[in-house]
Structure 1
């Protein structure tokens, strides 16, 4: 998917392509440090280029790109008033409801045919589009009965083939967040993170053939918020602020998720945590493995920074959306973490996507600018940047 400059100019976003939409570029550093001062010791990161500037009607946290180049964004209904929760990004940057406006109009009387709160979606190796609907009525609260679901969509016909209910895996405080599918000749599986609304999350394992849903690790520290942790984005702490009430620490359990190339291991992390975890997928989806036995298989892979979305490549390297640094990181199989690129336009780095031609895309969701983190003031500034860089590996699936 080469960068089409006509797309960029057509969307009127030359300024965004050149640098931050909020501020001009920083002055170039002097080649010679002032007398008495040591030269900087930080190493420069790589660069990202603007692939698309999406004029999304609300916060686009999710991103998925079909093999033919069609681009989709997912816009969770944080308040319930958002007009669209799943959209296709058109060449001029505009976003249209997908598959249509009616499907994007939530109807509690027809919960499996309408979309309520879509945080993410992915394509499998057959280019089938899988959409996760959390079923939340207003971004929070008890999921609407029958509304939490997976949708299997054929994008060649823009038609929903099948709906898989997730009611068996959700609880009153569920907030399903991220999705990975593993569809191969011998398996058809999905894994979903539930970040929860009160700090404790879980992971759902779904057998796509039978529709069986298993909820696991619901009481494990690896799926829970790390209490008291502060995330800094754009040089400010991200705290829930409402009126004159004291600021509160946001909560967020199991959030980002990724899968190893052979499908044997799942990587995941809470939104409010600096740790990365892994667990065997076979144990995760086997209801005969006890909670205690499964907990014993969880691996703490160590520090990885404050992240949102995760993904993996064909070399089993985990990509990290380093939200505090407007950067893209990568964890190598030996545990080394490296910073690949940084860009001021990458505001609340969120969802990754790797295309077959080895472009790594990442969305800039601007979640930290939402009203709930700024005493009711909406500081988001559309369009939302979707950035990319070349990598040296293939996508996992």
Structure 2
């Protein structure tokens, strides 16, 4: 069964809690054979927001003007809203409206069913990814999987891009990058799947063409025999009665290089980082075999959720097992740059123009499905941040 990415967020959220240094044993190795890892004391993180979310807020996006949005996937039908705007006091308001957050199957193109993530493009337009899963599992609602373009000035949906051509009955769309510049308008999506299989989805936003790539490829699959440890405990599906079962999760985190030419991605259950040429994903003349042949294995990076790249083409890694953030430089060196006990289930990154790197603490590991039916999440949910020396990609 899949590990739902937005399921593991929480943990000591006291604003006065001290950041901790990652043990030496947890420092990630360099990703090139024979190359020694470099390390330094992990930096402290600053508490940016305490979000009074009604459910697990895994997704995070921040506008240039400082408006903060969280996305709460519907892991089950009881989740009341799936997208919200966060006020300065941490309270949340359904976004773009309460009506839009009603999972109404009779209006699949306008209702929000299960939004795991959203991003801003270079024009500060908000794009939301809807996986179309009102109960977190099962076949997506017909017509429910989509991208929504939202104008912040009017808080209104201006366009809906159907994703039906790129999904399967076992799809669970997870993360998103949008690249609009220099005459191109593209989107890239990870499909984590609801089992061990995953895929990448590329979208030509100008034409609406949707292409599914690397379906079942080793780089998008959940890795067998890997168990994620969070808060000193293995993350397992633990029903109230019966035997605990391992979780799985295919293609999850995604990042785009600053020039838009290279796509980085990784499975949720898998320790390796991959990259592929972005253009080939939408090339109508490229076969699936040719796309697969171009996948680069960039090596070990730890067990992560979200990814993001900065303007120097460095990829930030959410080290979920260590309550930490690492940075992978273009030469393959990985450095742990920050850790904090409040960063429970490090999930989605966002980089703001003033060079803050934000990350959500989603407490997914504390959800009932991983704790014998008991909900151990402790709202409010933390959003932490750390200064970096680069701009958004």
- Contact conserved, 1:214 with 1:287, CA < 8 A, in 2? no
CA contact (8 A) 1:59 1:366 kept: yes
Match of 1:16 among 14, 23, 26: 14
CA contact (8 A) 1:234 1:347 kept: yes
Q: TM-score, normalised by structure 1?
A: 0.90
The alignment partner of 2:48 has SS state of strand
- Equivalence map 1:328-343=2 (5 Å): 328-343=325-340
List runs of 5+ in structure 2 lacking aligned partners.
1-11, 21-38
Deviations 1:134-193, CA, capped at 9 Å, x for gaps: 001300000000100000000111010000000000100000000000000310000000
1:1-397 matches, within 5 Å, as 16-19=14-17, 43-396=40-393
Whole-angstrom distance in 2 between the partners of 1:80 and 1:213: 28
Distance in structure 2 (CA, Å) of the matches to 1:259 and 1:169: 20
CA contact (8 A) 2:126 2:149 kept: yes
Q: 2:114 and 2:381 mapped to 1: Cα distance?
A: 19
For residues 326 and 13 of structure 2, the distance between their equivalents in structure 1, rounded to whole angstroms, comes to: 25
Secondary structure, aligned partner of 1:325: coil
Q: Any unmatched runs of 5+ in structure 1?
A: 1-13, 27-41
Deviations 1:54-89 (A, max 9, x none): 010000000000000000000000012100100000
Deviation at 1:203, TM superposition (A): 0.4
Moved over 2 A (4+): none
Q: Over aligned residues, Cα RMSD in angstroms? A: 1.6
Q: Compared with structure 1, are the counterparts of its residues 15 and 283 closer, same or farther at alpha carbon in structure 2 (3 Å cutoff)? A: closer
Residue 11 of structure 1 corresponds to none
Q: 2 CA distance for matches of 1:70 and 1:314?
A: 22
Q: Which has the higher contact order (CA 8 A, sep 6+)?
A: 2
Q: Alpha-carbon deviation of 1:287? A: 2.6
How far apart, CA to CA, are the structure 1 residues paired with 2:347 and 2:225? 22
1:212 and 1:80 map into 2 onto residues whose CA distance is: 31
Query: Does the residue aligned with 2:219 lie in a helix, a strand or coil?
Result: helix
SS in 2 for 1:88: strand
Q: Contact 2:13–2:382 at 8 Å: present in 1 too?
A: no
SS at match of 1:319: strand
Aligned partner of residue 172 in structure 1, secondary structure: coil
**What is the rounded CA distance, in whole Å, between the counterparts of 1:15 and 1:168 in structure 2?**
41
2: distance between equivalents of 1:54 and 1:219? 36
Q: Show the counterpart of 2:24.
A: none
Distance of 1:142 and 1:341 partners within structure 2: 39
Report the counterpart of residue 32 of structure 2 in structure 1.
none
In the TM superposition, what whole-angstrom CA distance separates every residue of 1:86-140 from its partner, at most 9, and x where no partner exists?
A: 0000011001100110000011100111100000000001000000000013000
How far apart, CA to CA, are the structure 2 residues paired with 1:45 and 1:304?
A: 16
Q: How much has 1:15 moved relative to structure 2? A: 6.7
Displacement of 1:43 after TM fit?
A: 4.6
Q: SS in structure 1 opposite 2:292?
A: helix
Separation of aligned partners in 2, 1:368 and 1:116: 22
Q: Is the contact made by 1:369 and 1:380 (CA closer than 8 Å) also made in structure 2?
A: yes
Q: Is the contact between residue 13 and residue 380 of structure 2 (CA under 8 Å) also seen in structure 1?
A: no
Q: Distance in 2 between matches of 1:43 and 1:320?
A: 16
Distance 1:315 1:96 in 2: 35
